[in-house]
Structure 1
Amino acid sequence: MTDHLSVARVPTQSASRYLQQLAKHWSHKMTVTFSEEEGVITFPNESRLEMRVSDDTLDLLLRVPAGEDSARMRDVVANHLDRFAFREAPLTFDWQERDA
């Protein structure tokens, strides 16, 4: 069984700020590395969120192990980012499934 892979390109002019806020928020409970440009969050269920800032988007790659609920993990990520982006929320998460 392979991992579920979801990608999203989220339009925002505040990508770096949201990336850093999310990383700091989850750094108390999860394994997190981040800079102003990119970040990686590893969840207790071994799911992994990779984030990268571009000019006008926050690019997300979410890897969820087989047997875990990938839709729920996408919702967790989107809901947390929307909280930080309250001035422009809801953000647009156009999740696309990819082969792992």
Structure 2
Amino acid sequence: MLTDQGLFETPNASKYLQQLCKHFAHKVAVEHDGNRGTIALGMGPATLRATENTLTAEVTAPDAADLAEARDIIDRHLIRFAFREEFEAMDWQSNAA
């Protein structure tokens, strides 16, 4: 499995984490509280964490194409939720060698 981590510096990290989790809970299994969430995306889990000023996402998938799709899913939804901050994409870092 491959893993990428994304970072979004925002004072609304907990709000966006909860919005993402509540949105996906209508479609897939989700566990969350105000500071941590796990979304069972089709290609693998997405784990979200919120601090006072940072939202992080860790996405896991079996191959590079699915990993790119998982990143895109998170980014597309955050674009809708964080439009007031002119969000475009998380700062993604790959753990792949």
TM-score (norm. length: structure 2):
0.89
Q: Give the distance between the partners of 2:83 and 2:57, measured in 1 at CA.
A: 19
Q: Give the distance between the partners of 2:23 and 2:40, measured in 1 at CA.
A: 13
Higher helix content, 1 or 2: 2
C-alpha RMSD of the superposition = 1.7
Please say if residues 39 and 45 of structure 2, whose CA atoms lie closer than 8 Å, have aligned partners that are also in contact.
yes
Q: How many residues align?
A: 97
Who is 1:16 aligned against? 14
Q: Give the distance between the partners of 1:44 and 1:82, measured in 2 at CA.
A: 20
Cα deviation code 1:43-66 (max 9, x no counterpart): 233x11001111211011111123
1:2-81 equivalence runs, <5 A: 3-45=1-43, 47-66=44-63, 69-81=66-78
Could you tell me which runs of 5 or more consecutive residues in structure 2 were left unpaired when the two chains were aligned.
none
Who is 2:95 aligned against? 98
Q: Give the distance between the partners of 1:13 and 1:67, measured in 2 at CA.
A: 31
Q: Percent identity?
A: 35
Could you tell me which runs of 5 or more consecutive residues in structure 1 were left unpaired when the two chains were aligned.
none
Cα deviation code 1:53-88 (max 9, x no counterpart): 112110111111237521122111111011111110
Shift of 1:4: 1.2
Q: Give the distance between the partners of 1:55 and 1:80, measured in 2 at CA.
A: 21
Please say if residues 16 and 53 of structure 1, whose CA atoms lie closer than 8 Å, have aligned partners that are also in contact.
yes
TM-score (norm. length: structure 1):
0.87
